[in-house]
Amino acid sequence: MTPMVKSEGVHKSFGATHVLKGIDLEVAPREVFCLVGPSGSGKSTFLRCINHLEKINAGRLSVDGQLVGYRQKGDKLYELKEREVAAQRRDIGMVFQRFNLFPHMTAVENVMEAPVQVKRESKAAARERAVKLLDRVGLGDKTNNYPAQLSGGQQQRVAIARALAMQPKLMLFDEPTSALDPELVGEVLDVMRGLAEDGMTMIVVTHEMGFAREVGDSIVFMDDGVVVESGHPREVLTNPRHERTKSFLSKVL
Amino acid sequence: MTVPTEKAGPEETPPGSRPAPEAIRAIPVRHYGRWISTLVVLALVYLILNAFAGADVNYGAIPDFLLSASVLEGLGATVLISLLAMAIGLVLGVVLAVMRLSKNPVTSSVAWTYVWLFRGTPVYVQLMIWFNLALIFPYINLGFYRDEMSDFMTPFMAALLGLGLNEAAYMSEIVRAGIQSVDEGQTEASHALGMTQGKTLRRVVLPQAMRVIVPPTGNEFLNMLKTSALAASAAQYEELLLSAQNIGRVSGAVVEMLFLAVLWYLILTSFFSIGQFYLERYYARGSLRQLPLTPWQKIKVNVAGFGNRGGLG
């Protein structure tokens, strides 16, 4: 079975700052894969490399057997055209820490936008599906609200519905609950839990260790651009082997 | 018992479990400055009106010509050239802004040079050069279109090109500022959904940039209505000012006709300012929880709550 995501020796620098120093990992289909670590460890950057929001400098990164952002012919790599990169991204949903909803569109318009503009779905069909998706994340009564009229938790749930509207095979979550009031974290995690139960492949950068332990199939602890420790969440979170993992977990748990 | 205090403005008492304390009924601060300034302004207005009333101006001539055929024709010409030149400025301005921001070094330096050239020279000179283009290029040959330049470069064409191309330079800077004001996260979210650069710009970035773009564009348009008067002397384009001046020359009411032009310019700019208000209101949707009231709604609120001051400042 081809892994959903395969990363081999991925390096990434911003100018002189070396952020990723050789990341090797594999994510299986239907797996919930949690990335944890201190801020600045490179976990968000790695997530953004998976849908080519950031270009990697070395190594190989592929999604569902396809190289991200490049095409290999013989031993030469060719950069993909903008249109081809966009096509690759269609199948990868992403949810951001700051929601990044389109503020000039209502909730339902946010969800319809990509199916109509990218997949050329009819507006009526896209709207019908969008309303169903908003219903699924518990916002069936907020379809015509603008993002500014929604709470943080509601905005993040709209953002999840927006990503799901493209029927992705992989969902990336970049600290989806870090910008939320503690009270609102639960409603977003509930939606993510539901997604995991439906068999969605998910890569989640998070500080919610409870979620990782309960829903995660595997966990990776990153620090300073390298994978320090990986394994099953219960194993890693209760019996960390590395000192660095121990000291990090003692602070967040 | 109420104790008069010197606190300004009534304040709502928060609801509590205990019986609500008595509402404060304070004597408001007296604004003597407002009374004094009112008197000063009234005196100045009286002096100015008095001066103009005593001036050697035949005010009766203004209403006589206000709606005369040639004035209305000039008015139409002013509005027409302003709208068309603004349309050119807007479209070309967006194109130049996108070129300027593109990663392609050729297109971005072309856009930079264009803005440098047109923003760096007086529009009056540009208008004169367009109008006199026949002196250096006697013929125009665009492949599909050939003509003598003097036939092609009518006063209308010279005014249109001169004003429109100059405006594009200014508009491109306004559009660029608008595009750069939109949060980077919006572009990322749009790209993550599989939208291309062009779609992102059209569907996500520009609609949000409009909030920043519209107010200075309204400014530009009012400027355009007035600057179009330069096309009269630089390119013999018969717009409002020129037709008013022509009447003045014939009838001898020179200053009166200038006043007439002033009156029409004020009417025009007021009219288009109202349009700008509604345009800004439209592009504010989503970014404000409550849209600002239209003047009409404000009147209704004020009439309903007359005498009920406070609350909304």
Whole-complex ipTM: 0.94
- Judged by DSSP in three states, B206 sits in helix
Residue B32's alpha-carbon distances to A6, A67, A220, in angstroms, are 76, 76, 71
pLDDT reported for residue A219 = 96
Architecture of domain B61-284: Orthogonal Bundle (1.10)
Residue with tokens 């120093």: A21
B192 CB within 8 Å of a chain A CB: yes
Single out the residue of B182, B163, B180 nearest to residue B90, CA to CA: B163
Residue A165 · residue A143 · CB < 8 Å: no
Single out the residue of B192, B200, B36, B262 nearest to residue A85, CA to CA: B192
Single out the residue of A205, A200, A189 nearest to residue A164, CA to CA: A200
Asked if pLDDT for residue B248 goes beyond 80, the answer is yes
Q: B110 or B148, which is more confident?
A: B110
Residue with tokens 């209505």: B225
Asked if pLDDT for residue B7 goes beyond 70, the answer is no
Poorest-pLDDT segment among B18-22, B133-137, B184-188, B306-310: B306-310
- Spell out which chain A residues touch chain B, with contact meaning CB-CB distance below 8 angstroms: 51, 53, 82-83, 86-87, 89-90, 92-94, 96, 98, 100-106, 113-114, 117-118, 146-149, 159, 162-163, 166
Poorest-pLDDT segment among A62-66, B116-120, B138-142, B166-170: B138-142
pLDDT tens-digit map of A148-198: 999 999 999 999 999 999 999 999 999 999 999 999 999 999 999 999 999
pLDDT confidence band for B6 (50 / 70 / 90):
very low
Contact A93 B188 (CB under 8 A): no
- Whole-model pTM: value is 0.81
Residue A51: which residues within 8 A CB-CB, separation 6 or more? A68, A88, A89, A92, A94, A172, B192
Contact A113 B203 (CB under 8 A): yes
Contact B286 A87 (CB under 8 A): no
pLDDT, average across residues A50-55: 96
Contact B199 A118 (CB under 8 A): yes
pLDDT confidence band for B280 (50 / 70 / 90):
confident
pLDDT confidence band for B20 (50 / 70 / 90):
confident
Query: Which residues of chain A lie closer than 8 angstroms to B184, CB-CB?
Result: none
pLDDT tens-digit map of A100-150: 999 999 999 999 999 999 999 999 999 999 999 999 999 999 999 999 999
CA distance A197 to B291: 42
Per-residue tokens: A251: 């602070």
B186 CB within 8 Å of a chain A CB: yes
pLDDT, average across residues B87-107: 95
pLDDT tens-digit map of B257-270: 999 999 999 999 99
pLDDT reported for residue B297 = 82
pLDDT, average across residues A69-91: 94
pLDDT reported for residue B306 = 53
Residue B112's alpha-carbon distances to B96, B100, B175, in angstroms, are 8, 6, 14
Asked if pLDDT for residue B155 goes beyond 80, the answer is yes
B199 CB within 8 Å of a chain A CB: yes
Element (H, E) at A92: strand A92-95
For B8-46, b where at least 16 C-beta lie within 10 A, e where not — what string?
A: eeeeeeeeeeeeeeeeeebeeeeeeeeeeeeeeeeeeee
Asked if pLDDT for residue B282 goes beyond 90, the answer is no
pLDDT, average across residues B41-69: 92
pLDDT reported for residue B164 = 97
Based on its alpha-carbon atoms, the radius of gyration of chain B, rounded to whole angstroms, reads 27
Q: How many CB pairs under 8 A join A and B?
A: 74
Element (H, E) at A219: strand A218-223
pLDDT confidence band for B313 (50 / 70 / 90):
very low
Per-residue tokens: A173: 């979550």
In this prediction, what percent of chain B has a pLDDT beyond 90? 65
- Judged by DSSP in three states, B4 sits in coil
To probe the interface with B, which of A49, A63, A102, A108 has the most B CB atoms within 10 Å?
A: A102
pLDDT confidence band for B305 (50 / 70 / 90):
low
pLDDT reported for residue B303 = 72
Nearest CA in chain B to A81: B196
pLDDT, average across residues B229-235: 92
Contact B188 A105 (CB under 8 A): no
Residue of B183, B185, B195 with shortest CB distance to A114: B195
Q: List alpha helices for B153-193, DSSP H.
A: 155-181, 184-192
Contact B193 A82 (CB under 8 A): no
Poorest-pLDDT segment among A66-70, A178-182, B1-5, B76-80: B1-5
Q: Looking at residue B287, what DSSP letter applies?
A: T
Q: Looking at residue B205, what DSSP letter applies?
A: I
Asked if pLDDT for residue B138 goes beyond 80, the answer is yes
pLDDT confidence band for B283 (50 / 70 / 90):
confident
CA distance A53 to B188: 7
Q: Break chain B into its structural domains and give their ranges.
A: 61-284
CA distance B84 to B160: 7
Contact A53 B192 (CB under 8 A): yes
Asked if pLDDT for residue B307 goes beyond 50, the answer is no
Q: Cα angle vertex A244, ends A240, A245, to 5°?
A: 30
pLDDT reported for residue B142 = 86
